Chains A and B, each alone.
Chain A
Amino acid sequence: MSTEDLLRSRGLRPGDRVVVCLPRGEHLSAAVDGAIAVGAIVTVLPAGFEVDEHIRASAARIMISDSDDAIKAAEDSRIRQVIGSRELKGS
């Protein structure tokens, strides 16, 4: 399944917000491209920086990340689903 199809199957719709918090690399570009292909508004947060406040304040429904700090921050946010980079395939 492409990243686009994966995100769609998880309920992402055009105009939704997605947070991507991944280190630079193929996963990052696959995630961003997939979300844009669905028509989502993407916020890229550089992994490793202080992302907590951004994540808590975000109106995103989905976050793509493997970072423990980001996932912890998502618990106090409005993010419904966290997708790990392992789930991104066929990019």
Chain B
Amino acid sequence: MHTRGDACPIYPVEGMTSHNLPAEPNRFVGRARDVDELRGLLRDQRLVTLCGVGGIGKTRLALRVAGSLVGEFPDGVWLVELGRITSPDLVAHEIATVLGVREERSRPALDGLRVRLRGARALLLLDNCEQVVERCAELVAELLAGCPDLRILLTTREALRIPGELVWRVPPLDLPDARHPDAEAVLLFTDRAMAAGTRLAAGDFDDVARLCVALDGLPLALELAAARTRMLSPAQIADRIGDRFRLLTTGDRTAPARQRTLLATVEWSHDLLTAKERVLLRRLSVFAGHFDLDLVEQVCADERLLPREEVLDLLGGLVDKSLLLADGGRYRLLETIKEFAGRLLRKEDEHVWFRDRHLQVVCEMEERCFEAGLAAPRASWQERRRYFVRSRNLVDDCRVAVDWAVESGNALLGLRLAYVASAMLAVHGEIAEGVDWFERLLLLDLTGVPPEVVALCKGALAYGMEARDDLAGCERVVAEALKEQEKVPHSLGKGVTLNVAGVLLLRTGQFDRAERHFDEVVATTRQHDDTFNRVIAHSCLAVLAGVKGQLRLAQRHAGEALAVAKENGHPWHVAMATSQLAAVAEWRGDTEAAVTHYRAAAAIFDELDNRVEMERCLVMVAKVAIARGDHVTARCLLAECLALAQSTGQRLGMARVLRVLSRLADVEDDIQGSVLASAAAVALAEEMGEPVASGRIEQVLARARDRLGEGRTALQWSRGRELDPVEIARLILDGRREQGPLPVPAVAEVPHPVLTAREQEIAGLLTRGLSNRAIADELVISPATVARHIANIMEKLGFTSRSQIALWAVEHNLGSA
């Protein structure tokens, strides 16, 4: 048993339980039996779909059920609101955002979600799936298949129709009859009427019952009616709404009765609004999700119909009438009301005008955020922070504004918006969405767009492509951008393009050219007071000097990068420069300084909630701790890093942790664990298409062959590739070393000539622990063919795993050198 620090918990405790469910805005009425039933169903069933028409109360019921289950899901209950999403591509991204899973290269968000949720006992609540129901069906099926302890509850107007789905149809509230005068519908109506300040008289109750029946117990209809009780008695409302049903002209006559009832009630409530309230309500439909007063004033007000100074009062009026929800200083429309308002906006011919206006306003707001939050050469984080928050709150509106720019062919505003909004996202590691925006917008007719705007956007696109490892695409786009930007004076955007061009040189091994290039960038950015890009240029020069072994120079550039970063004031820059300085200290062999800098950088990343970079820094601290013989600290840190990598869904992060765990096992004389961890790290890196540095691995394997023999080493290596990487990590973290003889699977005495020559060859390659792809490359055949050969070998030899084949091959001297 290895020493383990008593002071530090091996696995960090992540709060008690966690959820992101909102507080209930008012009293939840009725449905006690339904809540109880659904709680029970979610114990047996992995996927429960709440179906029903708009306004029937699916979301409210789902939130209630989810809220009551928080204690039963140790890994959390997570609400993902999909009503704001119209593009199927964004569904996985939304779930990832809620769960804190970060983008990893160009990998689909689903991969990260699988890593995050693989062993998690969690409940996902996907709300309002109807607009993206097909994508939801695919994703849900894949998540449930890959994550055995995951449960999913969703609300939608249309079921997913996938195997294992339990469809639960949300009914209206119970209606009163002679025996049950206080049915759910009556209770909801009276509760909301009281909340609106109405005192119902005893004589009203027959009318309330009549109204509840007329409204078919639909919760939204009841709420809209109850909000009017200050002006109209229940009898008057019941009469008027009754007329409505006869007069109802809009909508689909063949739609379900309750859908028509609801529409009639919404129309009735709408028609009681003042003229200005009506104008405002329909214009609010242009917003994506939540919006604040400022945004409403800028987008919706005009001189003629809607004076700006009246907007606040009008919003309050709509809230009072239950047509608009107020939520901590921000507002939002229920989906049903938003659709209704959107139809009116089109009917009044204001649609195009207000979508244009929305695009314009959102673009200008984002430009201000960009200028003050990012481009300002000197500002403290306090000053910058609120612009990042503001920009973050505008993301949904940016999406619909970009969509509109594409739809209406407004390339200029679309590109201006995409340029600033994507830069704000990129600073926090979100790259994919910006790339998608640019790719769609640059396909539009660009004749009216100034060439320097196109060039700026191409530079930003190149930045995204480089981050996603599309070096060929990046090179092409960077060249196009620079061709135009050479003609214009320096700007932050031009600096970005120049830095991307330099990074391309660096990554393609053209070190001398890269160095000259970055020297020029340093000179230019200094001349134009562009601290943002100067930090990056100095950091790259530090890397280049390190590559060339000029450690003093590397130190100087890293120090300069940090100084400029502090001057610039954005903590992300400071943290990056600090971790660069740490790397240089490590190269110089100054472990003391390396630990200090890595820890400092990790602390800043922690503050920025950038857990991906935080993990990268702490792994380095652990590595240094091992070198100094401080295994207790290393264990603590690596346990923390494992949790960070899992929670952000980063396979490369997990590979980093496993590489260092392999070192730890090695120095603790657990050679079997060391081989396991190395193999798992290599498998993860290969999965991501990352190059694998083989030097240390060869040393570990050589020592293992000495100690364990060829066969056992090969077997261990194959097991490491097959086992769950998290399990392997825990094995080493816990110091649970596998003692004695390995559990060697029985190897049948099969004379190998039963295998074809190709099969023998592949069995030999398996002793090197190669993946199907690597074997395919080696033999110049397709991975599918390799898989087929391996299946045949298993069939012939009666084996069930690759490790058995590997061990068998070693024992029959098929291992290739």
User: Hey, which bits of chain A sit against chain B, CB under 8 A?
Assistant: 9-11, 74-82
Are the CB atoms of A81 and B256 closer together than 8 Å? Answer: no
Closest 6 CB pairs of A and B: A11-B37, A78-B171, A76-B256, A80-B168, A80-B169, A76-B257
- A74 / chain B contacts, CB cutoff of 8 Å: 169
Are the CB atoms of B41 and A11 closer together than 8 Å? Answer: yes
Q: List 27 A-B contacts (CB under 8 A).
A: A9-B44, A11-B36, A11-B37, A11-B40, A11-B41, A74-B169, A75-B169, A75-B256, A76-B257, A76-B258, A77-B171, A78-B171, A78-B172, A78-B174, A79-B169, A79-B171, A80-B34, A80-B37, A80-B168, A80-B169, A80-B170, A80-B171, A81-B166, A81-B167, A81-B168, A81-B169, A82-B167
A10 to B63, CA, bound (A): 20
Q: Closest CB-CB distance, B54 to chain A, in whole Å? A: 13
> How many cross-chain pairs have Cβ atoms below 8 Å apart between A and B?
30
- B171 / chain A contacts, CB cutoff of 8 Å: 77-80
User: Hey, which bits of chain B sit against chain A, CB under 8 A?
Assistant: 34, 36-37, 40-41, 44, 166-172, 174, 256-258
A74 to B171, CA, bound (A): 10
Chain B residue nearest in CB terms to A77: B171
Q: Closest CB-CB distance, A10 to chain B, in whole Å? A: 7
Q: Closest CB-CB distance, B131 to chain A, in whole Å? A: 20
Chain B residue nearest in CB terms to A8: B40
A82 to B168, CA, bound (A): 8
Chain B residue nearest in CB terms to A79: B169
A75 to B167, CA, bound (A): 12
- B37 / chain A contacts, CB cutoff of 8 Å: 11, 80
A74 to B170, CA, bound (A): 11
- B34 / chain A contacts, CB cutoff of 8 Å: 80
- A80 / chain B contacts, CB cutoff of 8 Å: 34, 37, 168-171
A75 to B168, CA, bound (A): 11
Q: Closest CB-CB distance, B259 to chain A, in whole Å? A: 9
Chain A residue nearest in CB terms to B41: A11
Q: Closest CB-CB distance, A86 to chain B, in whole Å? A: 12
Chain A residue nearest in CB terms to B43: A9
- B168 / chain A contacts, CB cutoff of 8 Å: 80-81
A81 to B166, CA, bound (A): 8
Known interface pairs A11-B36, A80-B171; 13 further A-B residue pairs with C-beta atoms within 8 A, sorted by A's residue number? A10-B41, A11-B40, A75-B169, A75-B256, A76-B256, A76-B257, A78-B172, A80-B37, A80-B170, A81-B166, A81-B168, A82-B167, A82-B169
- B257 / chain A contacts, CB cutoff of 8 Å: 76
A57 to B191, CA, bound (A): 27
Chain A residue nearest in CB terms to B34: A80
A77 to B52, CA, bound (A): 11
Q: Closest CB-CB distance, B397 to chain A, in whole Å? A: 35
- B44 / chain A contacts, CB cutoff of 8 Å: 9
- A11 / chain B contacts, CB cutoff of 8 Å: 36-37, 40-41
